[in-house]
Amino acid sequence: MTEPIIVGVDASAPSRAAAEWAAGDARLRGLPLRVVHIDGADPAGGVAGALLSLGSRAACTVLGLRGEDGVPEPAVGSVAHEVAARSDRPVVLVPGGPHPASGGRRTEWVTLGVDARDPVSGAVVDFAFDAARRRGARLHAVHAWRLPSRTERWMPYALPEEDRGAWEDQEVQLLSDALRPWREKYPQVDVYEDVRLQSPSAALVQASASAELLVVGRAGRTLGPTVGDVLEHTECPVAVIPR
């Protein structure tokens, strides 16, 4: 049986944006779309539980995240984070406003947040490559890194440029090595590898400004500070993938 795309809706603007995005994604993937109405009078835990149950048999669950002014809206907005944190399947959270998959401005970028030092992020990378392939989009792979702790001995003086360059070259190689299997699996996807000396959340928020979809990973049953910060500040749909 073909797995559907589940979208939870109420009367809010974010849920309408989510429904439009889900319909566009269902067309791209050739999957059925199942629309689930969320009653704001139901307890939040009950709503999340119902969506998690339905989502366990779905290709992904799509929910509205917040309005264009950044304010979460009930009832979808009150459960979006919980579903994204607990689901065993991909969850896409869509802020209010137009998006490329639903007729907005097409950006031709799928942005992927990848930790090149983490060997268990395969599901996240595969989702992003497949999304880029289906959209005919370029993949923007972002790896954020920090200077080794031993650089503290240089403070408050400038770090020698040759040392910084050598560490950055190592990070570039790590990212290239991490993506190589998926470059071979998806040869039609054009990949831009981007290594940034920033915090992960700052790097992803900046990179997602020109993206039609941002793909991030989630470990355990919490979103974690990085994903939480990204969801608060990004303006593009965010796919949260359990690792």
Per-residue pLDDT at 242: 93
Q: Which helix (H) or strand (E) is 8 found in, with range?
A: strand 5-9
Beta-bridge mates of residue 62: 7, 92
The pLDDT, as a whole number, for residue 98 is 55
For the beta carbon of residue 207, count every other beta carbon within 10 angstroms: 24
C-alpha distance across the termini of the chain, in Å: 24
Farthest-apart Cα atoms in the chain, separation: 62
Tell me the H-state helices in 59-197.
76-86, 122-135, 161-185
Enter the tokens of residue 180.
């190589």
> Is residue 169 classed exposed, middle or buried when 0-12, 13-18 and 19+ CB atoms within 10 A define those classes?
exposed
- The yes-or-no verdict on residue 107 having pLDDT over 50 is yes
Per-residue pLDDT, averaged over 12-39, amounts to: 91
Q: How far lies 127's CA from each of 121, 130, 145, 163, in Å?
A: 10, 5, 22, 35
Query: From CA 42, how far away is CA 36, in angstroms rounded?
Result: 14
Question: Whole-prediction pTM value?
Answer: 0.87
Whether residue 76 has pLDDT greater than 60: no
Residue 142, amino acid:
V
Is residue 21 pLDDT above 90, yes or no?
Answer: yes
User: How many alpha carbons lie under 13 Å from residue 33 in its C-beta half-sphere?
Assistant: 18
Instruction: Write out pLDDT tens, residues 27-47.
Output: 999 999 999 988 755 655 688
Query: For residue range 62-75, what is the model confidence (pLDDT) as tens digits?
Result: 999 864 444 444 44
Band (214; pLDDT cuts 50, 70, 90) = very high
CA dist., res. 67 & res. 16, Å (int)? 10
| Model confidence band, residue 184 (pLDDT cutoffs 50, 70, 90) | very high
Report d(CA 102, CA 100) in Å as an integer: 5
